[in-house]
Amino acid sequence: MKAITVEPKKPGSARYEDFPEPDVREGSVLVEAVAVGVCGTDVEIVEGKYGWAPPGKTRLVLGHESLGRVIDPGPSSSFKAGDLVVGIVRRPDPVPCPNCAVGEWDMCTNGQYTERGIKEIHGFMSERWRIEPEYAIKVDASLGLLGVLLEPMTVITKAIEQVFLAGQRAYWEPRTVLVTGAGPIGLLAALRLSARNLQVHVLDRAETGPKPQLVRDLGATYHTGSVLDLDFAPDIVVECTGVGAVIADSIQKVNSGGIICLTGVGAGGAAERATADIAAAVVLKNNVIVGSVNANKRHWYKAGQNLAASDPAWLSRLITRREKPENFQQALVRQPDDIKVVIQFSDI
Ligand SMILES: [Zn+2]
């Protein structure tokens, strides 16, 4: 079969190549790939900045935002041939740490977890892949290609859960939400928060393209420019840019008692404000800053429900480009109006 593989930590090593059929030890369910979403982590792996091959191997099959069709459900699963499934990305560490021991592998404390397509387990960018039945999530057949949005939806399902869990520390009546960054994660955050009784605002750099109308179609308000120029103090900030200045401005701007959830992963940049000044603002306003990454099975299950309950016409506008596997390099290069780019392996 064909697969998109990379030698981790070696820039320029990605290729679409012949690769052995998936090993039965990777899971009893055999799946035909339909599509795989591309995200910033894939770009980082291809640029040689991140990623680990399976033990004893030099190459890693890329891809963690999967959608596939069951070919053979194997002897011990409730799936049927033809079911659409998405693979959970992370596996618990082998020790295990207390969180992995109770199924909260997203909260792993020793860092020895593994992740498909990222850390020591092959990903989903191959014509066929295998998965353990307990790590496959069936998606509603009516979703079709939109099932590829399940993995990003799990990230935001966990993040929103974290915000409202943190909110229980005191009496809290949140009214306004600011989402910074209108990429797939930010737009899915706006979608889910709009479903609650909250005034949702989204801030992004883009002044043209599909993002402003996607936000307005949720009944939310679209902003460009600086967080500091907004004429309200948000009760919740869901930060999806990872940009230092946006994070510092959000902490300054958030309302008293407000909660900031960081989901973006950035690096570097100038120190916009002294750490003690940022901390003073957090102290004096009783703010919570909570980081959120990955998701566990509870979030995957809820995300599947959230996705199936969303407007499919709106969701389909998030998938702005589809590329063939042999053109995967084009999928990795951002174009101005891209939101979610997917590599499509087979028809749906
Ligand atoms: Zn762990």
pLDDT category of residue 267 using cuts at 50, 70 and 90? confident
pLDDT digits (tens, 9 = 90+) for 273-318: 788 999 999 999 999 999 999 999 999 999 999 999 999 999 999 9
Q: For the chain, how far is it from start to end, CA to CA, in angstroms?
A: 19
The CA 24 to ligand 1 mean position distance, Å, reads: 25
The CA 300 to ligand 1 mean position distance, Å, reads: 18
pLDDT digits (tens, 9 = 90+) for 98-128: 999 999 999 999 999 999 999 999 999 999 9
Read off the pTM. Answer: 0.96
β-strand partners of 84: 69
263's tokens: 């989901």
The CA 96 to ligand 1 mean position distance, Å, reads: 5
pLDDT of residue 108: 98
The CA 107 to ligand 1 mean position distance, Å, reads: 7
Report the distance separating Cα 184 and Cα 151, nearest Å.
Answer: 11
The CA 178 to ligand 1 mean position distance, Å, reads: 32
pLDDT digits (tens, 9 = 90+) for 212-231: 999 999 999 999 999 999 99
The CA 94 to ligand 1 mean position distance, Å, reads: 8
pLDDT of residue 220: 98
Which one, of 135, 211, 136, 144, lies nearest residue 180 by Cα?
Answer: 211
The CA 111 to ligand 1 mean position distance, Å, reads: 6
What is the β-pairing status of strands 29-38 and 65-72?
A: antiparallel
* b/e per residue 293-329 (b: at least 16 CB within 10 A): ebbbbebbebbbebbbebeeeebebbbbeebebeebe
For residue 114, how many other CB atoms are within 10 A of its CB?
A: 19
The CA 47 to ligand 1 mean position distance, Å, reads: 27
Please report, to the nearest 10 degrees, the dihedral formed by the alpha carbons of residues 195, 198, 203, 206 taken in order: 40
pLDDT of residue 79: 97
CA distances 267 to 78, 242, 243, 270, Å, are 43, 7, 8, 10
- For the cut 80, the answer to whether the pLDDT of residue 197 exceeds it is yes
The CA 89 to ligand 1 mean position distance, Å, reads: 14
The CA 60 to ligand 1 mean position distance, Å, reads: 22
Considering the chain, what is the average pLDDT of its residues? Answer: 96
Report the distance separating Cα 308 and Cα 15, nearest Å.
Answer: 34
pLDDT digits (tens, 9 = 90+) for 321-338: 999 999 999 999 999 999
CB 79 within 8 A of CB 85: yes
The CA 114 to ligand 1 mean position distance, Å, reads: 9
pLDDT digits (tens, 9 = 90+) for 128-162: 999 999 999 999 999 999 999 999 999 999 999 99
Residue 309: which residues within 8 A CB-CB, separation 6 or more?
none
Query: Over pLDDT 70: what percentage of the chain?
Result: 100
Q: What is the mean pLDDT of residues 47-53?
A: 97
pLDDT of residue 272: 66
Q: What is the mean pLDDT of residues 159-185?
A: 98
